[in-house]
Structure 1
Amino acid sequence: MPRVLNAVVAACPDLGIGHRGQLPWHPLRLSKEFAHFRRLTSSSEEGKQNVVIMGRKTWFSIPEKNRPLRDRINIVLSRELKAPPAGAHHLAADFSSALALVETQLSERADQVWVIGGSSLYQEMMESRAPTRLFVTQILKQFECDTFLPDISPDKFVLLPEFPGVTRELQEENGIQYRFEVYESVQQ
């Protein structure tokens, strides 16, 4: 059975996910939402680690003191870099190369695979034939955005009524309401 690919993202009502290399609501911090991200992307299987795959811009948008993401195998995608950026564990030229790396060199250590951005990487994952889950934090306030999540097509993804460990209750921090949603790819 093929490995399930997971993506985690927080998006405004217009599916905006970034503005000038930051989260759209920056400098506001959504600590509970960030804890949700950390809990999802950190492994729970003994002796293994989750893999986080991200584009170069996403890597550099993470504050240097938080790179690499602790207790996770960090893979950065770039066609330009010749070596992993300082702190990253692995460099891959593209998404398929990153997945091949997971299945070959990292197969014994890797637990779940998580895509954490950016936009083109989400697009590629959402178009793949692999079983896919999207963990979306729907931010219920619009902020200015210049980077967007691709449309979540209802003929490709179904919103799950519930998912273990993910609350459906409305959340609020710093005057911003949001809710967690999980979508699963419809297997053709």
Structure 2
Amino acid sequence: MRTEHRREDSIVTITACNRKELAYFSKMTKSTTDPLKKNAVVMGRKTWESIPEKFRPLPGRLNVVLTCTNRSLGEEVIVHTSLEDAIKDLHNRQDVETVWVIGGSSVYDEMMKSSYCHRLYITSILKDYSCDTFFPEIGSQYISVSDPTVPSGIQEENGIQFQYKVYENTEYVSIKNI
């Protein structure tokens, strides 16, 4: 669950100059254990619109956009008016392995408060930036864990230091159990 990056509770979008982070994001959100399945990326309308048109929809993933108006965004994009409906729809699909919620702030907040959120994958930028949008507070139900697919330690590219962090929801309930 991530595409924007946490630093001092601020959301900072790293531009294409940080190829290492973009490659990590792409690998994480595309990788599946079943070659017959793909992952889904769920995002709010503003996050969708922040992606340059030439990169929309994000390739190799099922793109789901949440918007108040049920409008078409193209044949390759699924539109839902609520996160709950999107999660239920994706759970019922046989071709989806993992659902990644990739922003924005209100979508993160809603998902993080849900017992269906299993893990948070966060990139912590080790520099202060002036921001007007903030990442939701990570609740006490989330504990720091390690994941062998996530690089450890401080990473650096183009003078920007960052660190990947993984948190697991101790109150997680698989949607399969409802």
Do the two structures share a fold, i.e. TM-score over 0.5? yes
Q: Where does the alignment leave 5 or more consecutive residues of structure 1 unmatched? A: 1-6
Alignment partner of 2:49 out of 55, 60, 82: 60
| Post-superposition offset of 1:8 | 1.7
Provide the residue aligned with 1:110 in structure 2: 96
In structure 1, give the amino acid aligned to 2:100. W
What are the superposed Cα offsets for residues 71-104 of structure 1, whole Å, 9 maximum, x if unpaired?
1000000012x32323652000010010121123
Q: Is the 8 A contact 2:4 2:102 kept in 1?
A: no
Q: Is the 8 A contact 1:43 1:111 kept in 2?
A: no
Provide the residue aligned with 2:175 in structure 1: none
Partner SS state of residue 52, structure 1: strand
Considering only aligned residues, what root-mean-square deviation do their CA atoms show, in Å?
Answer: 1.6
Provide the residue aligned with 1:122 in structure 2: 108
In structure 1, give the amino acid aligned to 2:157. E
Runs of 4+ deviating beyond 3 Å: none
Is 1:183 the counterpart of 2:171? The answer is: no
| Post-superposition offset of 1:40 | 0.6
Q: Is the 8 A contact 2:42 2:100 kept in 1?
A: yes
What is the aligned-residue identity percentage?
39
TM-score normalised by L of structure 2: 0.89
TM-score normalised by L of structure 1: 0.85
Partner SS state of residue 147, structure 1: coil
Equivalent runs, 1:30-179 vs 2, <5 Å: 30-44=18-32, 45-80=34-69, 82-86=70-74, 88-104=76-92, 107-153=93-139, 155-160=140-145, 162-179=146-163
Alignment partner of 1:15 out of 9, 13, 32: 9
Q: Where does the alignment leave 5 or more consecutive residues of structure 2 unmatched? A: 173-178
**Which structure carries more relative contact order (alpha carbon 8 Å, separation 6+)?**
1
With 7-16 and 123-132 compared, the bigger mean Cα shift is at 7-16
Q: How many residues align?
A: 171
Partner SS state of residue 2, structure 2: strand
